[in-house]
Amino acid sequence: MSLAGRAARIGLGVAGAFIGYAWLPHLFTGTATWRGPVRNRAVALTFDDGPDPRWTPRVLDVLAAHGARATFFLIGRRAAAAPDVVRAIADAGHEVANHTWSHPSLWLCSPRRTEHEIARGHVTLAELTGVAPRHFRPPWGMVNAAMGRALTRTGERCVFWSLQPEGLRPRSAEAQAEYVVTRVSPGAIVDLHDAEGVAGAPARLVAALGTMLNGLRDAGYRLTTVAELLGDARAARGRE
């Protein structure tokens, strides 16, 4: 076989291995959670990528003013650098959940690093709050074949989202609030960001959040944590 042929075979082998490890697992995320039950008019707001010492306290203030509870998917490294903010989240009755230690793409993580990222984030948040996280969200929603085993060891459930008003493309505060209020449905899990990812995202979120909360409440929705939303699902199954 020619050198070019060998290189082509190696390239195909590497591509096949990557697809099997990082892409095919997306076909099996049916065991993950994308939304809650539809029987109760409840919605879970979730906040990714914090804690941010500047923006997360402002988000907490808005939530407190509206009597709303939420879930914060925190990056372990940022949590370790801002322990007082993490404790403020927990003390306010919000849920603290795992978003890895350093926010890598799991597509590019080996099995060993995947386990390290999930386990170190889990342990860090448990030590800071005294409560072990029950839920995990992979950065950018990217999974791999090693994630399931790592989550089994920490006892966490993978949670995605059913609404994301701002992803990689910036969207104004007004557009974000309108997007959520007009597209929400019972059991929705809304993905928001209280730390810098897309430039200016936390500022737009804070500007949108009050309007968003008012709109959801006016539509008759109860605002709760992911843990409570999924607890409702377990209770509903128990009554069937």
Residue range 3-46, pLDDT digits in tens: 544 444 543 444 444 455 455 555 556 578 999 998 889 999 99
- Rounded-to-integer distance, Cα 75 and Cα 130, Å: 17
Of all helices (H) and strands (E), which one includes residue 2? none
Catalytic residue among 48, 52, 191, 232: 48
Catalytic residue among 94, 99, 122, 193: 193
Is 61 one of the annotated active-site residues of the chain?
Answer: no
Average pLDDT (139-143) is 93
Cβ atoms < 10 Å from Cβ of 240:
4
Q: What is the pTM of this model?
A: 0.87
pLDDT at residue 24, as a whole number: 56
pLDDT at residue 16, as a whole number: 43
pLDDT at residue 29, as a whole number: 61
Is 135 one of the annotated active-site residues of the chain?
Answer: no
Residue range 169-204, pLDDT digits in tens: 889 999 999 999 999 999 999 999 999 776 788 999
Contact 204, 176 (CB under 8 A): yes
Domains of the chain: 1-31 (no CATH), 32-239 (3.20.20.370)
Q: Which position has the higher pLDDT, 127 or 18?
A: 127
Per the prediction, the chain carries an average pLDDT of 87
pLDDT at residue 81, as a whole number: 98
Residue 100: closest CA among 132, 131, 78: 78
Supply φ then ψ for residue 191, to 5 degrees: -100, 115
